[in-house]
Amino acid sequence: MTILPPTFHFPSALLRLPSPSLFTNPMFLSMAAQTHYDSQEINLPNAPNCTINYPVPLSPQLPAISKQMELARAMSASSKSSLFSLSRTDVVFEDDWLIAVNKPRGVYCESVLSSIPSLLNDSNDSVELGTQVDLPELHLANRLDRDTSGVMLITKSHKVAAKLVRAFTDHKVRKTYIAFCVGQAPEWRQITIKSGHGRSKFGAWRVYAASDVGRKLPGGSVVRDMQTLFEVLSVNGHGCSKALSAEEKIVIVEEKSVVDTNNVEDEILVRAYPQSGRTHQIRLHCQYLGIPIRGDVKYEGVYEWKGIKYDGHELHAESLSFEHPITGLPVVLDAPLPMWAIQALQPLPC
């Protein structure tokens, strides 16, 4: 039996390889300048005449320069994480069932979790010298990327953990993020982007067409839906954005992004409201929109900007809102903003 894949016709421009200098430019790795054709067609080993045509990712492959930089960042984070400990000033919220902390950039979630017991012991005033309290059953309720700062929620029992996992799965937890992006200033004030999400045959997370949701990928996984609402907070220090359209724009991804790279020097601060919880969701959608996050070399963000080199991306988990799993009361957790966000939110005069 032969499964005939559909025929795709690509413009010749998509088949040209980018200039090698593109991957060595330390200032900006432009998405629009790169052209990729990811062949996802795989021959079955036991049936050489039978091929499976998998969905083709629509976001670019990882820039060549990102591999070396990501390795260096991972080694730095491992060293930093091994010495990391929390203080009471890092605590955003705590009760008998939950504790939320403000995770710094460049520290792994597991290191934050492992430092909770000593924090709880140190803060228990009733503990006699030389003794320890019985530690609760600690679980991570949410995870953040290594270089993403902000709210991390930890539960203190299996029962509470199970309830929060269900709340996250059912999209009953509202999340907001702040991101500092560099690219072409958008014409929209708000935009909702809907796409597919999954791993390519090389294992990297990529954006897929919305119509590919549910289709099988190499390795056995499937394309899953991914949706994010973005709101522009400031452009080049101006928070008054009068020229931006007040009408919310909706983008349903079905083809590769085409972004004008003639103007790539705008600084855009956005707030993101992820409607799904996919890995690297905000980072991928920022890349697709042509406003990659500053420092995010994996997804084409600048790593050197105005004479400063960045050792991580500037993405901050601003808040979590949910119904308390035990009391049923509304809970809103806000993490203090990092300095880069505070400075960007101080707009210049209009």
Q: CA dihedral in degrees (165, 166, 171, 172; nearest 10)?
A: -100
Length of the chain: 350
- Measured distance between the N- and C-terminal CA atoms of the chain, rounded to whole angstroms: 67
Distances (CA, A) of 311 to 67, 70, 79: 14, 9, 14
Residues catalogued as catalytic: 145
Using alpha carbons, select from 208, 205, 177 the residue that is nearest to residue 271.
177
Read off the DSSP letter of residue 244.
S
Instruction: Kindly write down the DSSP assignment for every residue of 288-345, as one continuous string.
Output: HTT-PBTT-GGGT--SEETTEE-SS--EEEEEEEEE-TTT--EEEEEPPPPHHHHHHT
pLDDT tens digits in sequence order for the chain, 350 residues long: 444 444 444 343 333 334 444 334 433 333 333 333 455 655 555 555 556 789 999 998 888 888 899 999 999 999 999 999 999 999 999 999 999 999 999 999 999 999 999 898 876 654 444 444 456 789 999 999 999 999 999 999 999 999 999 999 999 999 999 999 999 999 899 999 999 999 998 889 999 999 999 999 988 899 999 999 999 999 998 875 555 666 789 999 999 987 765 556 899 999 999 999 999 999 999 999 999 999 999 999 998 999 999 999 999 999 999 999 999 999 999 999 999 999 998 866 55
Q: Please, are residues 56 and 206 in contact by the beta-carbon 8 Å criterion?
A: no
| Distance from C-alpha of 235 to C-alpha of 336, rounded to nearest angstrom | 22
The H or E element spanning position 81 is: helix 64-82
Provide the phi-psi class of 150: left if phi over 0, else alpha when psi is between -120 and 50, else beta.
left
| Distance from C-alpha of 88 to C-alpha of 294, rounded to nearest angstrom | 30
